[in-house]
């Protein structure tokens, strides 16, 4: 496992870190978190690196979501070009990560397949326009997870997933138990419903798109 510190930015609590497996890999996982969402992060990084992923970790402050988004996009641009890039974000960073993905897709700054995994993203009222803008990109595959205890967020999430299906986009909806697990904890476990879906998302062998 090889770790490289990238350029620091004001919206980051510390310098972004790129962790690479011993063998070269063409896949990059981008994990944005802020204080309170980091539980399970070490297990997630360890599992993904062992599975052949490069992992870019950004510890973010969420006061200015647009600046945070720009800094996440800049950190991704500092990484080598990969054949597949997967972004994951818990509820509080979903808007910033979606903005970063949108910027990178519009600018053509990332090559190959692109994936996005979020949890309770639609709890943020500002998320819907961003999600609609991201839907324009056929290259983007998504997993929209929502906890069962928030019926309104679950309904909005499922409605967006259904709309993406109608447009023949690669999209998956996962309803999660009403537990206190962070997204990182769910994703670290390959047996977890959303952890399993994440591992299939950018894998053409398992992809269920036509």
**Residue ranges of the domains in the chain?**
2-201
pTM above 0.75, yes or no: yes
Q: Supply the pLDDT for residue 17.
A: 93
Q: Supply the pLDDT for residue 142.
A: 96
Per-residue pLDDT tens digits for 49-104: 999 999 999 998 867 889 999 999 999 999 987 789 999 998 889 999 999 999 99
Whole-Å CA distances, 88 to 91, 138, 180, 210: 10, 18, 18, 24
Supply the angle between the helices 127-134 and 151-166 in degrees, to the nearest 10: 20
Q: Supply the pLDDT for residue 106.
A: 94
- Provide, rounded to the nearest whole percent, the portion of the chain with pLDDT above 90: 67
Return d(Cα 77, Cα 68) in angstroms, integer: 14
The average confidence (pLDDT) of the chain is 90
Confidence check: pLDDT of 177 > 90: no
Q: Supply the pLDDT for residue 49.
A: 94
Burial profile 54-88: b = 16 or more Cβ within 10 angstroms, e = fewer: bbbbbbbbeeebebbbbbbbbbbeebeebebbbbb
**CB neighbours of 66 closer than 8 A, spacing ≥ 6?**
96, 99
Quickly state the pLDDT bin for 209 (edges 50, 70, 90): very low
Q: What is the mean pLDDT of residues 2-7?
A: 90
Q: Supply the pLDDT for residue 206.
A: 42
**CB neighbours of 200 closer than 8 A, spacing ≥ 6?**
206, 207
Q: Supply the pLDDT for residue 138.
A: 92
Computed from CA positions of residues 41, 34, 137, 159, in that sequence, does the dihedral angle turn out positive or negative? Answer: positive
Q: Supply the pLDDT for residue 204.
A: 54
Q: Which of 34, 27, 132, 33 is nearest to 86 (CA)?
A: 27
Residue bearing the bigger pLDDT, 143 or 83: 143
Quickly state the pLDDT bin for 210 (edges 50, 70, 90): very low
Assess contact for 139 and 171: CB atoms under 8 A: no
Q: What is the mean pLDDT of residues 182-196?
A: 92
Q: How many Cα atoms are found within 13 Å in the side-chain-facing hemisphere of 99?
A: 19
Whole-Å CA distances, 117 to 12, 65, 143, 197: 21, 18, 5, 9
Q: Which CATH superfamily is domain 2-201 in?
A: Alpha/Beta hydrolase fold, catalytic domain (3.40.50.1820)
């Amino acid at each position: 496992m090889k770790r490289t510190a990238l350029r620091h930015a004001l919206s980051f609590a510390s310098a972004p870190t790129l962790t690479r497996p011993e063998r070269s890999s063409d896949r990059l996982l981008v994990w944005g978190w802020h204080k309170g969402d980091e539980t399970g992060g070490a297990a997630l990084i360890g599992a993904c690196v062992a599975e052949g992923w490069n992992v870019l970790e950004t510890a973010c402050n969420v006061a200015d979501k647009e600046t945070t988004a720009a800094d996440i996009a800049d950190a991704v641009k500092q990484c080598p070009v990969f054949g597949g890039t997967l972004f994951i974000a818990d509820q509080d960073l979903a808007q910033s990560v979606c903005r970063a993905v949108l910027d990178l897709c519009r600018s053509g700054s990332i090559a190959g397949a692109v994936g996005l995994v979020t949890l309770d993203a639609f709890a943020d009222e500002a998320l819907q326009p961003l999600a609609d803008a991201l839907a324009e990109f056929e290259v983007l595959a998504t997993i929209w997870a929502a906890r069962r205890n928030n019926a309104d967020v679950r309904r909005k999430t499922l409605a967006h997933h259904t709309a993406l299906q109608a447009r023949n986009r690669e999209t998956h909806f996962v309803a999660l138990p009403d537990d206190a697990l962070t997204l990182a904890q769910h994703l670290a476990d390959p047996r977890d419903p959303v952890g399993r879906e994440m591992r299939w998302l950018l894998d053409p062998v398992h992809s269920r798109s036509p």
